[in-house]
Chain A
Amino acid sequence: MTGASTEGPSRAQLRAALAGRMGEAQVRLLEDAAIGVAGLGGLGSQIALALARSGVGHLILVDFDVVDLANLNRQAYDIADLGRPKSAALRDRIARINPYLDVRATQARLTPENAVPLFADASVVCEAFDDPVGKAMLTESLLLGRGDLAVVGASGMAGHERADTIVTRRVGRRWWVCGDETSDIGTGAPMVAPRVMACAGAQAILAIRLVLGLEQ
């Protein structure tokens, strides 16, 4: 865990600021929660920041990639991060928002073999890949491998349609998908920051609702 700089706010001060917004009971549930984010691109980087700002105490972040110039149009990185692993860059970014969170950032390619062990401590995993084959593989691996895990996936957020075309659908008892389920980068539709952020927001709030017991 990263320590705070001496001039920064204390853990107690940050916690009190959160409790002032959400109340003590919700802060406690969120700080005890462990949420995984699979893929730290346009969706995953924004999901992780939203969860960190909400005081989720344990974040398990996994991505194999490094930050590229073409990522800056929508991903939560900046010029200083170019060439760095996304996992490390995001861990450092989160430390500037709340240095007291337990952020486990791993640079790795997720496979059917390592997905369950890497997210072993998580109660919820947000699937935030861009490749549809990877999305299907990860969803199947996690739902098969962990009978107690909730998976919040994403499908369809390319293009310029309005943000309210992004919806949250409960597919199964432990499985949700956010997106329009129709738009696809394969058709040449661009990835545009506000829409990707809308989908990331849908995934992050669903994960928070699960932690708070608002989705039964």
Chain B
Amino acid sequence: MIIINGREEHGAAGRSLLSYVETEGYRFDRVAVEINGDIVPKQAYAERALADGDRVEIVHFMGGG
């Protein structure tokens, strides 16, 4: 089971984090991502495959401050 932002995501297993972010409506340069408690650097998104047991938090930043 893969949990992304608190919800079970069927069909995410085996996909790269980059592919998931880019096809699920996020903008690559506006997100910060933690997997299993560790922040994932942007340059590692392409090689980081989502796997069973992963808990993923994606923050998609809104503009304004």
Given A131, A155, A185, A196, which contacts B59 in the complex, CB threshold below 8 Å?
A155
Taking Cβ atoms with an 8 Å cutoff, the residues of B that contact A are 27, 29-32, 34, 37, 39, 41-42, 57, 59-65
Subset of 8 A-B contacts with CB under 8 Å: A43-B65, A132-B27, A132-B30, A132-B61, A136-B59, A172-B37, A177-B59, A180-B62
B62 CB contact (under 8 Å) in A171, A175, A179: A179
**Are B62's CB and A136's CB within 8 A?**
no
For residue A104, CB closer than 8 A to chain B, the reply is no
Chain B residues with CB below 8 A from A196, complex form: 64-65
Which residues in A have their C-beta under 8 angstroms from that of B62? Answer: 132, 155-156, 158, 179-186
A170-208 vs B, CB cutoff 8 Å, 1 = contact: the mask equals 011101010111111110010100001000000000000
Do the beta carbons of A140 and B63 come within 8 Å of each other? no
The docked-state distance in angstroms from the alpha carbon of A175 to that of B33 is 11
A143: nearest chain-B partner, CB-CB = B39
Residues B65 and A140 in contact, CB atoms below 8 Å apart = no
A136 touches B63 (CB 8 A): no
Query: A158 and B64: CB pair below 8 A?
Result: yes
Give complex CA distance A110, B60 in Å.
20
The residue that B63 contacts in the complex, of A44, A132, A139, A153, with Cβ under 8 A, is A132
Q: Does A101 contact B (CB under 8 A)?
A: no
Per the bound structure, the CA–CA distance linking A155 and B60 in Å amounts to: 8
A133 on the B face (CB < 8 A) = yes
Which residues of chain A in 8-55 are interfacial with respect to chain B, using CB atoms and an 8 Å cutoff? 39, 41-44
Query: Which residues of B sit under 8 angstroms from A136, Cβ to Cβ?
Result: 29-32, 59, 61
A129–B34 CB distance below 8 A:
no
Contact between B34 and A133 (Cβ–Cβ < 8 Å)?
no
Contacts of B65 in A (CB 8 A): 39, 41-44, 128-131, 135, 154, 157, 191, 196
**CB-based contact A172/B57 at 8 Å:** yes
Q: Point out the residues of chain A lying under 8 angstroms from B61, CB to CB.
A: 132-133, 135-136, 139, 153, 155
Given A136-B30, A136-B32, A171-B34, check contact A183 B64 (CB 8 Å). yes
